[in-house]
Chains A and B, each alone.
Chain A
Amino acid sequence: MLSIRNLHATVDDTPILDGIDLEVRPGEVHAIMGPNGSGKSTFAHVLAGREQYNVTQGAVQYLGRDLLAMSPEERARAGVFLAFQYPVEIPGVSNIYFLKAALNAIRKYRGLEELDAMDFITLVKEKVGMVKMDEALIYRAVNEGFSGGEKKRNEILQMMVLEPQLAILDETDSGLDIDALKTVADGVNQLRSDERAFIIVTHYQRLLNYVVPDHVHVLDNGRIVKSGGPELALELEERGYEWLNELTAGAA
């Protein structure tokens, strides 16, 4: 589904990603872990098409297409979704209007008819229940005045309504209490299927207690320095990121 080869990227001429290789197959959940500044968020944003990040080398194939040649909206329409660490507030535009515009843009691209108002509202209300979000929030301006937890739930709500093929979660778990964390995990688990893949970017292991990944990769200085199964996340939790220094020192 997603095939990343030797991906290099810079931000304002500073190299951040330094040769990433990753293969994601349908149905898989990959966790990307790493200390602050390791390039995790940049990696997530590059996949979603943030233009501020410059890809200097490498190639990314997504469902047989050259992902890097696609605009952010083309990627979204083709099923890529990024849950933001810091979702943006959009005053004056209601959440539900925004969701409807997004969903219809995707449906139109796929040659489906736009959902009518009744079907849409029914769909949204069902998903709102699943993410345990206060229904009043869907009529409020997008993320405006939302608490940190509400913003993250809103990201998961968007994910559930848009039903992406490849969902990338950028530290969606950071700053969440245990209830919200479980809601995020439930959202991911409900969407898990043989056709859909997830890349979960996280600093901590705790989300992975609830969403058990197939693969865990450790990112440091813009490279994947270690890959393994779910047990790698536990090991990292136990030993801390200082352990990486030993790893990289050992490799050198």
Chain B
Amino acid sequence: MTNPEHTVYGDEFRGMEKSLPGSQAPWVRALRADAMETFIEQGFPDTRLEEWKYTDVRPLARHHFRASPGLTTIRESALQSRLLTSEPAHRLVFVDGHFAPELCPFNTLLKGVTLTSLAFALENRPQELETWLGRNIDMGNPGFNALNTAFMRDGAYIRLAPGVALEQPVHLLFIATGKPDTVATVRNVIVAGPGSKAQIIESYFSLNDAAYLTNTVTELSVGDGADIEHYKLEQESETAYHMAGIYVTQTRDSRFTSHNIALGGKLARNDLTVALEGAGADCTLNGLYLARGRQHIDNHTRIDHHKPQASSREWYKGVLDGHSRAVFNGRIVVHRDAQKTVAQQSNHNLLLSEEAEIDAKPQLEIYADDVKCAHGCTVGQLDEEAVFYLRSRALDEATARTFLIYAFAAGVLERIPLVPVRRYLEEQLTGRLPGLEFPGLTGEPGSVVA
């Protein structure tokens, strides 16, 4: 059942197949070709599918988004406000999906660390990636994963040898120059060897307003006893589309922490999937979404407890204003062998206008008998008692409400251990809430009343 909307991508694919990175490796060609075939079969998801019930991608499917032809040169100063830290973090920059080496500082890496462009690795040593590329991704989730795999252009390839600990965070910047009807197809592959440790930040943002598409997939394998802290800061243009998948597998005694912050996009979808495949694995998913105007932000998370004694905790919060709409679907599956699982989930939503809408759906499926699972979900407005408290301290009503919105969201930010990221997000948040000054909302003695 092919559809003309999908065959345009098939035609485009046949035209450029040979020029895509890794095309000389037969397994890469086969992976792409299979994915293209899958996409032609599946097409884009529609709202009849349970997983896409509240997110209608038809406006996106109607356009043909073409790969941006080449690298657009941008000035380093354009990144300045987004760098998060003045320290020389390990940084890879991608512009419209193309690697921009001139924007990446030279930084000596530890022995045992690979940090490079995926396209470069696919061209030069594809055999290294064969085990990992496409390993974690869920092709059953139709449309974007297949399209991503067929067209994947570039992204980061990070590999940590056993026992390696990166002291400074790795910052991946994905910048859109805002060419209408173009797509950046990003694929990141992260392989953390046993006992390794790193903090990895993905930032997505745009230099202007345009209706482009980012289709990004990150595959992350966390080895035995490894500890990975992952940040995703999504600040696309509010006229753009952002479709993202993060697929994580964890083995024995590993730790994975996700901080997933969604602020941008006309339509943004995150699929975050964690498979706890080893006993004693631990994952934390911390998330915040802020939507306004006519933004639509959809977070689908899934945690699979396959083995015993693993734990997971999940905290997602959303603030919706205007005519915005958000979806939170948090699925936790405790499989039969996963005895002594501890899983908790919470999702709290603040609706600031009558027209804003949230579809929140916690889903717990438990097939083991000795488990501790809990979840809670709330949707509400600002607490009027609290508004009164602030007004009784001379703050006008608008400022009082702003304080409380900030307070609601701040809980998510407080869980962020990387201080520059936390500060940056506090700034972004206060920037969206008129009446607050930054700095000074939280912090330590001396940093406060500036």
Q: Is chain A's binding surface mostly helix, strand, loop or mixed?
A: helix
B448: chain A residues at CB < 8 Å are 94, 96-97, 139
**Are B441 and A92 within 8 A (Cβ)?**
yes
Q: Which of A17-25, A56-64, A76-84, A181-189 contacts B (4 or more CB under 8 A)?
A: A76-84
- Nearest-neighbour CB distance to chain B for A109, whole angstroms, equals 7
> A117 to B393, alpha carbons, bound, how many Å?
19
B386: chain A residues at CB < 8 Å are 88, 90
- Nearest-neighbour CB distance to chain B for A165, whole angstroms, equals 13
User: Known: A90-B407, A91-B414. Contact between A139 and B392, CB under 8 A?
Assistant: no
**Are B449 and A72 within 8 A (Cβ)?**
no
Question: What sequence of 0s and 1s flags, for each residue 68-79 of chain A, a beta carbon within 8 Å of any chain B beta carbon?
Answer: 000111011100
- Nearest-neighbour CB distance to chain A for B390, whole angstroms, equals 8
Q: B445's closest neighbor in chain A, by CB?
A: A139
A232: chain B residues at CB < 8 Å are none
> A51 to B442, alpha carbons, bound, how many Å?
30
> A92 to B406, alpha carbons, bound, how many Å?
7
Q: A75's closest neighbor in chain B, by CB?
A: B392
- Nearest-neighbour CB distance to chain B for A235, whole angstroms, equals 33
- Nearest-neighbour CB distance to chain A for B387, whole angstroms, equals 9
**Are B445 and A82 within 8 A (Cβ)?**
no
Q: Which among A72, A91, A96, A105 is the interface contact of B388 at CB below 8 angstroms?
A: A72
> A121 to B445, alpha carbons, bound, how many Å?
10
A52 interface contact, C-beta 8 A: yes
> A102 to B444, alpha carbons, bound, how many Å?
20
How many interface contacts (CB-CB < 8 Å) are there between A and B? 106
A106 interface contact, C-beta 8 A: yes
A31 interface contact, C-beta 8 A: no
User: Known: A51-B388, A73-B396. Contact between A93 and B406, CB under 8 A?
Assistant: yes
**Are B440 and A92 within 8 A (Cβ)?**
no
Q: A142's closest neighbor in chain B, by CB?
A: B407
User: Known: A84-B389, A96-B449, A97-B448. Contact between A90 and B394, CB under 8 A?
Assistant: no
**Are B440 and A109 within 8 A (Cβ)?**
no
Q: A135's closest neighbor in chain B, by CB?
A: B445
> A75 to B396, alpha carbons, bound, how many Å?
11
Per the 8 Å Cβ criterion, residues 117-163 of A in contact with B are: 117, 120-121, 136, 139, 141, 158, 162
User: Known: A117-B450, A139-B448. Contact between A91 and B392, CB under 8 A?
Assistant: no
Question: What sequence of 0s and 1s flags, for each residue 102-145 of chain B, a beta carbon within 8 Å of any chain A beta carbon?
Answer: 00000000000000000000000000000000000000000000
**Are B393 and A76 within 8 A (Cβ)?**
yes
User: Known: A92-B406, A96-B449. Contact between A101 and B442, CB under 8 A?
Assistant: no
List 25 contacting pairs A-B, 8 Å CB cutoff, sorted by A: A49-B388, A49-B391, A49-B392, A72-B388, A73-B391, A88-B386, A88-B389, A88-B390, A90-B390, A91-B407, A92-B406, A92-B409, A93-B406, A93-B407, A96-B448, A97-B449, A98-B403, A102-B395, A105-B399, A106-B394, A121-B449, A139-B443, A139-B445, A141-B407, A141-B410
B residues engaging A (CB < 8 A)? Answer: 383-386, 388-397, 399-400, 403-404, 406-411, 413-414, 440-445, 448-450
Q: A84-B392, A100-B440 are known contacts; what are 18 more A-B pairs with Cβ within 8 Å?
A: A71-B391, A73-B394, A73-B400, A76-B393, A76-B394, A81-B392, A90-B390, A90-B404, A91-B410, A91-B414, A92-B409, A92-B410, A92-B442, A96-B449, A98-B403, A105-B394, A139-B445, A141-B442
